[in-house]
Structure 1
Amino acid sequence: MNIKAELNIQSKKLELIQWLSTVEDLSVLNKIIDLKKQENKDWWNSISETEKQSVEKGLQDAEDGKLNSHSKARQLYDKWL
């Protein structure tokens, strides 16, 4: 991440902190808490069975040594990158 993007993120965080310190509406605070809980949920439980099978196949391929180098992947998929 470049320095400009990092500074922008930090600026947004400070802006949210300042705003949050002024919020008096409990329903808004509860929505923020719910959002935080959502973010902490295990992504595995939110993906489809097809996606889970794909991840499991990829892990099995890795365990079996069926891997390509980064340079090979770049060569294969360069037109989309």
Structure 2
Amino acid sequence: MGLEAIKLELIEWLTKLDDEDTIEYLRVVKDSKTEKDWADNLICEQKSGIGRGLKAIDECRVTPHEEIKKRFGL
């Protein structure tokens, strides 16, 4: 099946689709393909926080997930 035929099949399917969750999922997929980079939308404080987290990882100042779960009884 060619690309154009697949597109037409998807368009036809989408016009009949009533499932809101699937439609929202498809919108997210579409937006993820059209936006440049999700990081471009972060504010300075968010970028700074990510930078601090990455630095902590580089310096081995992290606690394994399993240890945190044990500490909090999860």
For normalisation by structure 2, the TM-score amounts to 0.51
Gaps of 5+ in 1: 1-16, 23-31
Give the counterpart of 2:52 among 47, 53, 57: 57
**Hey, what's the Cα distance between the residues in 2 that align with 1:54 and 1:77?**
24
Question: How many residue pairs are counted as aligned between the two chains?
Answer: 50
Detail structure 1 runs of 4+ shifted over 4 Å in the superposition.
76-79
For normalisation by structure 1, the TM-score amounts to 0.48
The Cα shift of 1:60 comes to 0.4
Instruction: Give the aligned partner of residue 45 of structure 1.
Output: 40
Q: Identity across aligned pairs (percent)?
A: 14
Residues 1:78 and 1:48: Cα distance change in structure 2 (over 3 Å):
farther
Cα RMSD (Å): 2.7
Are positions 1:72 and 2:60 aligned together? no
Gaps of 5+ in 2: 1-9, 17-25
